[in-house]
Amino acid sequence: MFKRIFLLLAISILLMDYSTTVVYGKVDKDNRYFFRTKEDYSNYVEWAKEAVDILIKESIISEEEALSFASQSKIKRAEFTKLIVELLDLPSIETDMRFTDVSEDDKDYISIMKAVAAGIVKGRGDKFYPDDEITREEMAVILVRALKFKKVKYPLESVISFKDYEEISHWARESVEISLKYGLLQGVGNNEFQPKEYTSRAQAAMVASRFLSLIRDAKEVVEVEDPSISVDIKTTEDEVIVTLCWGEKPNTGYKIHIYDATIDEGVITIVYETFYPDPHMFYNQVITYPKSTKTIMVDNPMSNYGYNLVKK
């Protein structure tokens, strides 16, 4: 024990000069010493330290990854995917999906396949682009898919209207709004969201910490309710008519469809799906209000029903 301490001190003294100072050292699993120097901290941000500490404590990231996740360097798609997989503790799910730019030898292969199988991330054609940096709006879309996978219901916060709202891609606006309401994402100052800005590792660590707190603090685990979908229930002498409205949309590419609606003990379970515009198709750029209606035949319908929304 004393030999090891003496060796560590001796090496530290030898490494110290006017340009480099050892500020951190420990023994790794193979009993080898490694050191962190002040140069390692040149890109370190103090505000991410607490989030990084939480992720280490919860075994989401390793101690060796700590400095990386407290830096302003940009996080890649594969790295963010792995982070989400660890947060969700995703199981292995069989999938036939394969990408030409991701091989079984890649260190993040298993994480990518898990996330794809769970519907958390998607490729672009036959490629995944694992080394691409991820924008803030892309991060929002992945976060909302992860929330829906966990079926978290949580009190919503108010949303600030950003002056660069129009710069958010139409396909990401709903996810950005939900991420803001759930407190996962915030503005970047000057009343801006900066949707096309690439995400730093430090920002990803902060978001991951918030996501972890959100799913831990949620009072109940049920299907997440999309705040942009309204439910209208009407009754006649022998019918219950259920209508879902998806709110205001910027073009005709948005659709909503009710697959099934069943009643059990005064509660209507509504199974539905939403469809987004295909980026390769042309749509009329007019304001629409997508709706879907389902009629349930019943004897002596009640005057009031509760409901559960289940996204297909």
One digit per residue, pLDDT tens: the chain, 312 residues? 555 555 555 545 444 443 333 333 444 444 433 444 444 545 567 888 888 889 988 999 888 787 777 778 899 999 999 999 999 988 877 777 889 999 999 999 999 999 998 889 988 889 999 999 999 999 999 999 998 888 776 555 556 678 998 999 988 988 898 898 888 999 888 889 999 999 999 999 999 999 999 888 764 444 455 667 889 999 998 999 999 999 888 888 889 999 999 998 788 999 998 888 876 677 777 889 999 999 999 988 887 888 888 887
Q: What pLDDT, on the 0 to 100 scale, is given for residue 307?
A: 85
- Ramachandran category for residue 283: left, alpha or beta (phi over 0 → left; psi -120 to 50 → alpha): beta
120-177, pLDDT tens digit by residue? 998 888 999 999 999 999 999 999 999 888 877 655 555 667 899 899 998 898 889 8
**Measured CA angle at 275 (ends 289, 89), to 5 deg:** 125
Q: What pLDDT, on the 0 to 100 scale, is given for residue 1?
A: 54
Residue 143's Cα: distance from chain center in Å?
A: 1
> How far apart, in whole angstroms, are the C-alpha atoms of residue 108 and residue 82?
7
Provide the greatest CA pair distance for the chain. Answer: 89
Per-domain residue ranges of the chain: 1-41, 42-221, 230-311
Determine contact, residues 112/97, Cβ cutoff 8 Å.
no
> Dihedrals φ, ψ of 165, to 5°?
-55, -40
Q: What pLDDT, on the 0 to 100 scale, is given for residue 232?
A: 92
- Residue 123, token pair as written in the block: 């490729």
Q: What pLDDT, on the 0 to 100 scale, is given for residue 279?
A: 64
Length of the chain: 312
219-239, pLDDT tens digit by residue? 444 445 566 788 999 999 899
Radius of gyration of the chain (CA): 24
Which of 221, 226, 156, 224 shows the shortest CA–CA distance to 184? Answer: 156
Secondary structure (H, E, C), the chain: CHHHHHHHHHHHHHHCCCCCCEEEEEECCCCCEEEEEHHHHCCECHHHHHHHHHHHHCCCCCHHHCCHHHECCECEHHHHHHHHHHHHCCCCCCCCCCCCCCCCCCCCHHHHHHHHHCCCCCCECCECCCCCECEHHHHHHHHHHHHHHHCEECCCCCCCCCCCHHHCCHHHHHHHHHHHHCCCCCCCCCCCCCCCCECEHHHHHHHHHHHHHHHHHCCEECCCCCCCCEEEEEECCCEEEEEEECCCECCCCCEEEEEEEEEECCEEEEEEEEECCCCCCCCCCCCECCEEEEEEECCCCCCCCEEEEEEC
